[in-house]
Amino acid sequence: MIVVMKKNADKEKQDRLVDWLKSMGLGIHVSVGEFQTVLGLIGDTSKVDMDLLESLDIVESVKRVSETFKCVNRKFHPDDSVVEIGSVKVGGGHFCMIAGPCSVETEEQIVTVAKAVKAAGADMLRGGAFKPRTSPYDFQGLKAQGLELLKIARAETGLPIVTEIMSADALPLFEDVDLLQVGARNMQNFDLLKELGHFGKPVLLKRGLANTLKELLMSAEYIMASGNEQVILCERGIRTYSDYLRNTLDLAAVPMLHELSHLPVVVDPSHATGIARMVPPMALAAAASGADGIMIEVHNDPIHALCDGAQSLKPEEYAALVKKVQAVREVLA
C-alpha cells in the first residue's frame, strides 16, 4: 500500500502517522520526491483502514500496490534512484560506462586495460577475480589475489572497481570493493542477496540466464528488503533460441524495468552477444533504449585472454565506441 502525502503536509503530523503505522507492525519506506512524499507500507496491510487514512488532512491519496515487489517498485519511489559509487553516479540522468577484462589475469594486464579504458572515458573498471565457469577445468579466477590487483589498478587510475561475488563466505574480502556484482548464475542465490542487503555496499545485479523481469525485480527486492537501497539492475541477455549469438539481448527490458522500478538499469552487450563485432551496435542500441550505463569487456590481448576473449574489444575499439555512445546520448538529451 502507498500513502501519497499532500504537498507541504505538516511534518510533525506526518511523523506521527509514520509512528502509528509502524506500531501496527508495518515497515515504512519514506520517499521524499521533488514534488511529493510517498509512504510505502510493507507487511500485512489487510488491517489498515484505507478510508481512515484517506480522511486525514495531510493525506492526498491511498492506493494498494498489487505487485509483490514493493521497495523496488516505482510506485513506492516515483523518482529515479541514483546509486553512488564513490564519485560516480548512476541513474536519474547520470550515465556510466563500465569496462575491463572478463577476468583479472596479471598486474600488467589489469593496469594496462584500466589505463586504456580510463583514457577512453570509462567511469569504472570491471574485472572478475572469482569466476563462475561452466567447466570446472577452466580458469576459475585469481580470487583474493585478483582483488588485490584490481585495487592496484584503482590506485593507478582512480577508477572505482566492479567485481563479482559468488558466495557470502567471501564477503570479508570485498570490504574495499566499490561495486559488488551478482552474476547471472547467482541472481536467485537468496542467501547471498540477503547478506548483500546487510553488507550495505552498492550491488550490480545481473539478470539470470532464464529469468523473467519480475524474478529480477524480486531478487533486487531481497537486497532492498534487507536494508540496502544501492542496487543497479543489469540486462545481459537471456537464453532463447539464438544460434549464432551467445544469448538474446532483451533491450525492451530497459524501458519496461524503468516503468516498473526506480532502480538504474545497465546493459552488458558483451555477454549478451558473445562476439566482439556485435558489441558496438548493441551498445549503441542500449544507449538509445535509455539505459543508465553500459558494461563492456575490454582486453589488451583478446586472443590470449583466459576467459571471454571472443567477445572482448581491444582498447582502441572501445575508445571509438565510447565516442559513438556519447553521440547517441546527445541525440537523446
Nearer CB in complex with ligand PEP: 88/205: 205
User: Does 282 interact with ligand PEP (rule: CB under 6 A)?
Assistant: no
Strands of 27-32's sheet in order across: 27-32, 37-42, 2-5, 59-63
Binding partner selected for residue 206 from Mn ion, ligand PEP, none, CB under the kind-specific 5 to 8 Å limit? ligand PEP
Of 62, 102, 282, 298, the one binding ligand PEP (CB under 6 A) is 102
Nearer CB in complex with ligand PEP: 71/182: 182
Interface positions with Mn ion (CB under 5 A): 102, 308
Given a contact cutoff of 8 angstroms between Cβ atoms, the answer to whether 221 and 77 are in contact is no
CB of 332 to Mn ion, least distance (A): 28
Nearer CB in complex with Mn ion: 83/102: 102
Residue partners of 117: CB distance under 8 A and separation at least 6: 99, 100, 125, 159, 298, 315, 318
How many residues bind to ligand PEP according to rule CB under 6 A? 9
How far, in Å, CA of 240 to CA of 107, rounded? Answer: 37
Cell numbers 538509445: residue:
288
CB of 270 to ligand PEP, least distance (A): 8
Q: Which residues pair with 73 in a beta bridge?
A: 261
How far, in Å, CA of 313 to CA of 296, rounded? Answer: 8
Of 128, 197, 264, 274, the one binding ligand PEP (CB under 6 A) is 128
Sole window of 28-36, 135-143, 182-190, 249-257 interacting with ligand PEP (rule: CB under 6 A): 182-190
Give the phi and the psi of residue 47 in degrees, each rounded to 5: -90, 0
3-state helix, strand, coil in the chain (%, to 5): 40, 20, 40
Number of Cβ within a 10 Å radius of residue 168: 16
Nearer CB in complex with ligand PEP: 238/287: 238
User: Does 141 interact with ligand PEP (rule: CB under 6 A)?
Assistant: no
Question: Distance of CA 176 to CAs 61, 117, 154, 170, Å?
Answer: 43, 21, 11, 12
Sole window of 33-41, 69-77, 178-186, 317-325 interacting with ligand PEP (rule: CB under 6 A): 178-186
Nearer CB in complex with Mn ion: 127/280: 127
Of 70, 154, 236, 262, the one binding ligand PEP (CB under 6 A) is 236
Which residues contact ligand PEP by CB under 6 A?
A: 102, 128, 132, 183-185, 206, 236, 271
